[in-house]
């Protein structure tokens, strides 16, 4: 808003703060790391048959969403801080912000599906075997995209260009809902389905996995100490991976969810503007961190990654 910047002469370009270059630079760094890491996950997972498991199909599905989010959405989001007026027209206004919402919803729900896959693999390995095939995982990922495309349609329908006079005529891509109650209902539904519910499922899955792997009689007491230690180390990694995934999701998306719900009487100050920037950076940062987490915890994946590099530079 006008309160964020000092006054300038009428007709001049509105002044830009440090965010005009800091945010694009940060997004560029996150984008390079994230696009590279996610592309690597997709390439290695599809190259080796050993990695074509149900779990890795979900990881690839998430990497595809993260890649789309970083590759398509990040440049446009960064450009919003480097310019003061929307110059891409009404069609791009609707498409870009619609696609952002689609990828965000697909990302959150796919992450939830991956957590559930780990839960069933550990807690119900026998009864869930028919639902843990690679084909089933691909079908679930495809259905998630379809649901995300449909759920985001109301946002696209209510996006429009808005012009205002501030240091000349400025054009903004904004939500223009006919019903304020409809807007509030939509965003509450989105937050519940793409953050609160996945987080609740993730926390419950974490508790169940830890109880299963670390409870009494989790490891046969008659097993020798060396094998027992090997099993415990492997299980510790599974627990840490599930917990890490849920914690990263909770932290990186919480500020954005608060901002989505706090649209009524939102105070536009330098502090809240900085908060918005930090919230956006966290959401994009998560898409760069996720593949690194899978690489760090996946022993088989790291081994195959090394093989791929050796073949590439042989």
Residue 2 has pLDDT above 60, yes or no: no
pTM summary value: 0.84
CA distance 64 to 52: 15
Out of 100-104, 164-168, 170-174, give the one with best mean pLDDT: 100-104
Which residues, other chains included, contact 109 with Cβ-Cβ below 8 Å and sequence gap of 6+? 144, 147, 148, 193, 194, 198
pLDDT at 6: 37
pLDDT tens for 241-299 read: 888 989 999 999 999 898 888 876 667 777 777 888 888 899 999 999 999 988 888 87
Provide the pLDDT confidence category of residue 192 given band limits of 50, 70 and 90.
very high
User: What pLDDT, on a 0 to 100 scale, did the predictor assign at position 260?
Assistant: 83
pLDDT at residue number 8: 36
Domain 2-312 top-level CATH class = mainly alpha
Whether the pLDDT of residue 169 is over 60: the answer is yes
Q: By C-alpha distance, which of 195, 202, 241, 278 is closest to 59?
A: 241
Mean pLDDT, the chain, integer: 83
**Of 81-95, 126-140, 199-213, minimum mean pLDDT range:** 81-95
Q: For residue range 22-40, what is the model confidence (pLDDT) as tens digits?
A: 888 898 999 999 999 999 9
Distance, CA of 192 to CA of 250 (rounded, Å): 13
Spatial CA neighbour of 295 closest among 84, 42, 97, 108: 42
233 and 143 Cβ atoms separated by less than 8 Å: no
Query: Residue with structure tokens 């109880």?
Result: 211
Residues 6 or more apart whose CB falls under 8 angstroms from that of 80 comprise none
What are the structural domain ranges in the chain? Answer: 2-312
28-38 CB burial, b ≥16 within 10 A, e <16: eebbebbbebb
């Amino acid at each position: 808003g006008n309160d964020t910047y000092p006054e300038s002469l009428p007709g001049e370009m509105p002044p830009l703060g440090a965010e005009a270059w800091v945010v694009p630079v940060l997004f560029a760094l996150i984008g390079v790391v994230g696009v590279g890491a996610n592309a690597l996950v997709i390439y290695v997972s599809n190259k080796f048959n050993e990695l074509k498991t149900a779990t890795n199909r979900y990881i690839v599905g998430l990497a595809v969403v993260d890649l789309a989010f970083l590759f398509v959405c990040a440049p446009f989001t960064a450009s919003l801080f480097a310019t003061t007026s929307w110059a891409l027209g009404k069609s791009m206004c609707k498409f870009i912000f619609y696609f952002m919402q689609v990828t965000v919803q697909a990302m959150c729900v796919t992450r939830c599906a991956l957590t559930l896959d780990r839960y069933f693999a550990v807690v119900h390995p026998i009864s869930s075997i028919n639902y843990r095939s690679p084909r089933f995982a691909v079908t679930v990922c495809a259905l998630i995209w379809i649901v995300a495309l449909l759920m985001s349609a109301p946002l696209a329908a209510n996006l429009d260009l808005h012009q205002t006079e501030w240091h000349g005529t400025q054009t903004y891509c904004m939500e223009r809902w006919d019903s304020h109650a409809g807007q509030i209902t939509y965003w509450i539904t989105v937050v519940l389905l793409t953050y609160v519910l996945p987080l609740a499922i993730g926390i419950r899955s974490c508790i169940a996995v830890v109880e299963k792997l670390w409870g009494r009689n989790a490891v046969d007491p008659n097993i020798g100490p060396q094998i027992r230690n090997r099993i415990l180390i492997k299980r510790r990694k599974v627990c840490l991976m599930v917990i890490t995934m849920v914690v990263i999701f909770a932290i990186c998306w919480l500020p954005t969810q608060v901002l989505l719900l706090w649209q009524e009487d939102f105070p536009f100050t330098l502090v809240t503007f900085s908060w918005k920037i930090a919230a956006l950076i966290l959401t994009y940062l998560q898409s760069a961190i996720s593949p690194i987490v899978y690489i760090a915890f996946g022993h088989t994946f790291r081994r195959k990654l090394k093989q791929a590099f050796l073949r590439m530079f042989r």
